Amino acid sequence: MDTRHFEEELAALSRTLDVALERMGRLAEENASLRRGRDQMAVERAALMARNEQARTRVEAMIERLRSLEAAG
């Protein structure tokens, strides 16, 4: 193999490696972003579940009061 061919192969390999490293960096950033989004959605879900539980408790209390008024009346 002559030197010129070896240098061309090495340059091509270097470009391929650069592309792969750039892609890996973008994928790492995207993965981090998706993880942050997932974590934020988990926090929002927990908050919504808590609000839902509060609403359920209030509705049950209102139903119980209505039943008490009905029984008393």
**For the whole prediction, is pTM greater than 0.85?**
no
Alpha-helical segments (H) within 3-72: 3-72
| Model pLDDT for residues 9-28, shown as the tens digit of each residue | 999 999 999 999 999 999 99
Percent of the chain exceeding pLDDT 90 equals 92
The two three-digit tokens of residue 56, written as one number: 């359920």
* Across 52-61, average pLDDT: 98
The two three-digit tokens of residue 10, written as one number: 């090495």
Q: Is 1 a residue whose pLDDT tops 90? A: no
The two three-digit tokens of residue 9, written as one number: 């192969």
C-alpha angle 26/16/9, rounded to 5°? 170
The two three-digit tokens of residue 18, written as one number: 């650069």
